[in-house]
Structures are given as structure tokens and as C-alpha cells.
Homo-oligomer: A and B are copies of this chain.
Amino acid sequence: MSTKGERTRNEIVEAAKTLFYHKGYTNTSFSDIVDKTNIRRGNINHYFKTKSDILEAVISQRIAEYKSLFSGWEIQYSDPKDRLHCFVQMVASNSSNLIRYGCPIGTLNAELGKEACDFQSNARSLFDVFINWLTQQFKQINKPRQAQARALHLLSRTEGISVIAHVYNNSDLITVEVKLLHKWIDEL
């Protein structure tokens, strides 16, 4: 059972998570969060002293979600190739969001990786979750010494797909490239 405070805090994080994704971190204001929730401004500052504290909470929340998603695949599929197919298929399943807002972790890193921003390492930790999990899967297939390189290659491919799909608001490239990636996994 969650306390009232925990529920309020979670409502803020969920609203901020969506807003940061849809509008970007800098372009999201406290007022946006107030408008999206039923929480008044002063109360937000009761749970989060600064805006960047909200960002950290959002990133932690996303990390937890992705770890949970990946754990589920490990329970559901014993073959690491099947898990990698799940990962690639996630891109296709999520195409409508990718087209409209870009990759949630890629666009966040693009923004937070710019000059005079203290949060690049926070955003990078999201990528670490992906790379670490992918590396583990590749290690279980073959050539474990190439596992991390393969993980970086795969994530690079999916990020590139997201960029183009977002720029052109079009899913055709996703369809084509996802097929190529499934084939690439099968041929490992």
C-alpha cells in the first residue's frame, strides 16, 4: 500500500516523464506539470526542491521500467536470440511514438549532452541499461568478446532508425530496417 505522499510524488514523476519526452526537458515548465496534474505549484516543490531533482526521478523511473521489461523477457524467453528479437520488435511496436517524439532516451541524451548541462551522465545511465542488457544477451549467443561491440552496433542502428523516422514522421524506414535487424540476429 502506498501513502498519499508517495502517490502524489509518483503523479508528478509520471506527468514530468511524459512532458520531458513530448516537449523536451528545457521546454517543460513547472506550470506544465501543474496543468497536467491536480497538484499545485508549491506542493511540487515540497517533493522536489529543484527541477533537476524531478529529472533525476524521471530518469530513475525509466531505468526501473526498462530493467523490469528486460527481466520479463528473460523469464519469458530462454533463447537470447528471441530476447533480442523482442528488443528489435519493440522499435516497431512503438513506432507511433518514435515518429512523433523520437526515441525517449535518444532525444533526452541529445538535449542533456549539450554544453553547459550538468546532466549528461544521468542521461547516459539510461543507455548503460540498454548496452549492459544487450551485451549480456550477445555473450550468451557466441563470440563473447564481441558482445559489447555488437550491443553498440545494434543500439546504434535502432537509434538511427528513430532519428530518421522522427524527422520524416514516417514509419516506412522502421519497417524496412527492423526486418534487416531481425535477419542480422538470426544470422549471428
Chain B CB within 8 A of A27 CB: yes
Select one of B116, B117, B161, B176 contacting A160, CB under 8 A. B161
Chain B CB within 8 A of A167 CB: yes
22 A-B residue pairings within 8 Å (CB atoms): A22-B115, A23-B114, A27-B114, A27-B116, A101-B114, A101-B115, A102-B110, A102-B113, A109-B163, A110-B163, A113-B166, A113-B167, A127-B167, A127-B168, A153-B177, A156-B161, A156-B164, A156-B177, A159-B160, A159-B163, A160-B160, A160-B161
Asked if B114 and A110 sit within 8 Å, CB to CB, the answer is no
Report how far A158 CA is from B163 CA in the complex, Å.
10
A127–B169 alpha-carbon span in the complex (Å): 13
A interface residues (Cβ-Cβ under 8 A, vs B): 22-24, 26-27, 100-102, 106-107, 109-111, 113-117, 123-124, 127, 149, 152-153, 155-161, 163-164, 166-168, 173, 176-177
Most buried by B among A110, A116, A149, A176: A110
> Smallest CB–CB gap between A107 and chain B, Å?
5
Q: Report the Cα distance A23→B127, complex, angstroms.
A: 21
Contacts of A110 in B (CB 8 A): 102, 106-107, 110-111, 163, 166
Residues on the B chain within 8 Å of A159, using CB? 159-160, 163-164
Which among A27, A102, A152, A167 has the highest number of chain B CB atoms within 10 Å?
A167
Chain B residue numbers with a CB within 8 Å of A22 are 114-115
Task: Find the residue from A114, A157, A159 having the highest chain B CB count within 10 A.
Answer: A114
Tell me, in angstroms, the Cα distance from A63 to B109 when the chains sit together: 25
